[in-house]
Amino acid sequence: MPYRVLLTPHSSPSLPLPPPPSSSPSPSDMAAFRGGVVSARVLSSATRPSLSSSSRSSFSFSSSSFQCLRSSPRISNLFLNQQRAGEVRVSSRGYGTISASASDPDQLKNAREDIKELLKTKFCHPLLVRLGWHDAGTYNKNIEEWPQRGGANGSLRFEVELKHAANAGLENALKLLQPIKDKYSGVTYADLFQLASATAVEEAGGPKIPMKYGRVDTTNPNQSPEEGRLPDAGPPSPADHLRQVFYRMGLNDKEIVALSGGHTLGRSRPDRSGWGKPETKYTKNGPGAPGGQSWTVQWLKFDNSYFKDIKEKKDEDLLVLPTDAVIFEDPSFKVYAEKYAEDQEAFFKDYAEAHAKLSNLGAKFDPPEGIVIDGSPSAQGEKFEAAKYSSGKRELSESMKQKIRAEYQAIGGSPDKPLQSNYFLNIIIAIAVLALLTSLFGN
C-alpha cells in the first residue's frame, strides 16, 4: 500500500509496545496501539504516490530510534494494519492525530474469500446487498463536501444511522461482517460493505461487478447523514418519489429500474420494514432465518425473475411493493422493465454498471483513482463513468506528476526505459555472485 507513515513521539519518548510476538496482532494489541502515546501522520498516495511494489512497504520514521521497529515483522504488520485501515479511533484522551487512509489490496482479496465462506454458511446474500445499498444510497449530489454529501463512506456502522427506520435489520449484517473487519483491519468499513455486496451478487449467480476500492471511512457518528435520504416503499406517488430520491443520487431512469432488480434477492419482513407477509411457502424453511416475503421464488438466486414476476403479479406469495409495481406502470421505467423481463443478459449488463456506480456514490477514494483487486473492466483501463461521483480528486496535479517522474528517474527509470520490477533483486544477485567468485578465486 502506498503510504508513508511518520511516527513521532507525542508527549512521551517511549512508545508503548504490545506484548511479545505471536504471528499476528491480537485485538488487545490493536487496542494498545489505538491508545498509544504516538501521533501518526499518514501521507497517502494522494500526496506521496508509490512507484513500484517494492516501495509500497517502505515506511520512514522521523526518529531514528524508531527505525528498529521496521525490522520486526510483527510490529510493522501492526502498523500496516492500523494505519492503512482508516478506521482510526481517536482516543478520548486526545492521543493521536491520524488522518484517514484507505484499504490494503491483499487484505481486500482475503476479506473477499472470507465473505464467500460467510455466504456459504449464513445465506446472507440479500442482507449484504441491502447493507451496501443503504450505505451508498444516502448520497446527495447537490452537496459537494465529504462526508456531508453522504454515500459509500461506512457511516452506516454507527448506531445513530443504523437506527434510521429504513435500516431496520441491518445491524445483523454488521454483526456478521464485524469478525471479518476485525481480521482485516486494513480494509475500511466503507470498502467492506461494498465488497460484501458485490461479492454477494456475484456469488448468487449475478454479473461480475466492475468494482474499485479505497473508500475512506467517516470517523464519527456526527458525520452520518440525517434520516430520510433512502426511498420509501409506499409513497403517495411512487414514480415521482423514486425519481426524487434517485435523481438526487445522480442516477437515471434506467439505473432506477436496473437497481430495483436487486429485489430478485431477499425478503421483506413485517417486523422490520412493515412490508410483506410474516412467512410464505417460499420462505418458511429459510435458508437462513426463516420467514418474510420474497419478491421471487428462488430468492437467493440472482437472475431476471424479479421482472418476470412483477410483470405477471400472479403469485400471492410473492411481494410487489408499490415502488416495484411502478416500474411496469411509468412509461419511461417500463421500457427498461420490459426489456429486462425478456433479456437477462441486458439486465445483467445494466445492473453491473449501475451497481458499480451506486457503490461509488459520495465515496472519497484513496488513492483517488481507487484500487482494483482483480481483472474487472476498470482494471483494464476502461474509463469508468462513475468516477465523477467520487472524490473529485481524479487527476494528479502537474507538479505531482513531475515529482513522480523525478523520483522514478532517481531510481533508474525513464519514460523510454521502464524500470524492471526485479531491479533491486538483480543488484542483490549480482553482489552475491561477486562475493562467491571472490571467495572462490581469492583463496
Helix, strand, or coil here: 116?
helix
Question: Contact, 326 vs 242, CB < 8 A?
Answer: yes
310 binds ligand HEM (CB under 6 A): no
Cell of 300: 437467493
Among 84, 112, 130, 181, indicate the residue that binds ligand HEM (CB under 6 A). 130
Give the Cα separation of 293 and 17 in Å (integer). 52
Is 10 designated active site?
Answer: no
For residue 170, what are the contacts with CB-CB under 8 A and spacing of at least 6?
127, 130, 131, 134, 156, 162
The C-alpha cell 498516495 sits at 45
Minimum Å gap between C-beta 20 and ligand HEM is 44
Minimum Å gap between C-beta 335 and ligand HEM is 17
Other Cβ atoms within 10 Å of 254 Cβ, number: 17
The footprint of ligand HEM on this chain (CB under 6 A) covers a number of residues equal to 23
250 binds ligand HEM (CB under 6 A): no
For residue 245, what are the contacts with CB-CB under 8 A and spacing of at least 6?
229, 230, 231
End-to-end CA distance of the chain: 46
127 binds ligand HEM (CB under 6 A): yes
Point out which span in 33-41, 43-51, 83-91, 123-131 binds ligand HEM (CB under 6 A).
123-131
Minimum Å gap between C-beta 116 and ligand HEM is 17
Question: Contact, 306 vs 347, CB < 8 A?
Answer: no
> Which of 247, 94, 243, 229 lies closest to 155 in space, CA to CA?
229
Point out which span in 62-70, 129-137, 210-218, 279-287 binds ligand HEM (CB under 6 A).
129-137
387 binds ligand HEM (CB under 6 A): no
Residue 77 or 273 with smaller CB distance to ligand HEM: 273
Inter-CA distances, 114 with 176, 178, 198, 287, 289, Å? 11, 12, 14, 19, 20
267 binds ligand HEM (CB under 6 A): yes
Residue 129 or 387 with smaller CB distance to ligand HEM: 129
Among 108, 265, 300, 373, indicate the residue that binds ligand HEM (CB under 6 A). 265
Minimum Å gap between C-beta 319 and ligand HEM is 8
259 binds ligand HEM (CB under 6 A): yes
Selected catalytic residue, list 125, 134, 164, 241:
134
Residue 272 or 308 with smaller CB distance to ligand HEM: 272
Cell of 48: 506521496
205 to 244, contacts with ligand HEM by CB under 6 A?
A: 231, 233, 242
Helix, strand, or coil here: 38?
strand
Among 54, 55, 110, 273, indicate the residue that binds ligand HEM (CB under 6 A). 273
Question: Contact, 183 vs 107, CB < 8 A?
Answer: no
Classify each residue of 403-436 as buried b or exposed e, where b means 16 or more C-beta atoms within 10 Å of its C-beta.
eeeeebeeeebeeeeeeeeeeeeeeeeeeeeeee
122 binds ligand HEM (CB under 6 A): no
Residue 272 or 334 with smaller CB distance to ligand HEM: 272
> Which of 114, 98, 118 lies closest to 106 in space, CA to CA?
114
Q: How far is CA 329 from the centre of its chain?
A: 34
Among 61, 275, 408, 424, indicate the residue that binds ligand HEM (CB under 6 A). 275
37 binds ligand HEM (CB under 6 A): no
Among 2, 18, 25, 126, indicate the residue that binds ligand HEM (CB under 6 A). 126
129 binds ligand HEM (CB under 6 A): yes
313 to 332, contacts with ligand HEM by CB under 6 A?
A: 321, 323
Site string for ligand HEM, 139-178 (x = CB under 6 A): ------------------------------x---------
Cis before 25 (ω within 30): no
Helix, strand, or coil here: 353?
helix
Give the Cα separation of 150 and 141 in Å (integer). 9
Cell of 135: 450505505
Minimum Å gap between C-beta 169 and ligand HEM is 5
Minimum Å gap between C-beta 80 and ligand HEM is 33
Give the footprint of ligand HEM on this chain (CB under 6 A).
Answer: 126-127, 129-130, 133, 169, 231, 233, 242, 259-260, 262-263, 265-269, 272-273, 275, 321, 323
